[in-house]
Structure 1
Amino acid sequence: MSEADVDAMVLAVDPELPQPAIARDDVVLVTGPWLAGATGVINALRERLPRHRFVEAAEIRAGVAPVAMVFVVSATAPLTESDCALLDASAADTDAVIGVVTKIDVHRAWRQVLEADRTITAGHAPRYAAMAWVGAAAAPDLGAQAVDDLVAAVEQAVATDSLARRNRLRAWENRLLGAAHHYESEVVGEGREVRLAALRERRAAEVRRARLDKTERAIAVRAQMQQARLQLSYFARNRCASVRTELQEDAASATRRTFGAFTDYVRRRIGEVVEEVDDGTAQQLSQVGLELGLPIECPAPPALAVEVPAAPLRSRRVETRLMALLGAGFGLGVALTLSRLLADLAPQWTAAGVVACAVIGVLLTLWVVGTRGLLHDRAVLDRWVAGGTSGLRAALEERVASWVLAAESALGIAAAERDAAQSVRVDQVLAGIDREIHQLAVTRAHAVAERDLHMPVIERALAVVRVELAPAVGTDSTNRPI
Structure 2
Amino acid sequence: MTSDIPAEVARTREALTTLLARLDPDAADRAAAPPPPARPTVVLVGAPGRGRGELLAALLGLDTVPTHDPDGAVRSTYERLPVPLLEELDLVVPPRPADPGTWPVDGATAALVLADAAAPLGIEELDALARAADRVDTVVFALTRTEAHRGWRTVLEADRALVAGHVPRLADAPWFPVAAALAQRAARADAAAAEALRRRSGLAALQRELHRLVARRRRMLAEANALRLLAGALDGVAARAEATRAALRAPAGGDLARRRDELLAARSALRRDHHTRWRADLAAARVATTDDLAARVRALGVAVRARIDDADRAGLAAIPRELAGEVETLAAEVVAGLGARLQALVAATLADLVPAGELPALRVADLGEPALVPAPRTRPAEDRLLVVAGASGGLGLSRLALLPLLAVPIAPAALGVALVPVSVGLGLGAAGWVARARRLAADRAHLRQWSVEALAEVRGDLERVLADALIATEREVTLALDAALEDRARDLDDALAAVRHAGADRAEADRAAARTAGEAREGRDRAETLLRRLAELRDRVDVPADVPEPHPRPAPAT
What band does the TM-score fall into relative to the shorter chain?
0.3 to 0.5
* TM-score when normalising by structure 2: 0.39
* TM-score when normalising by structure 1: 0.45
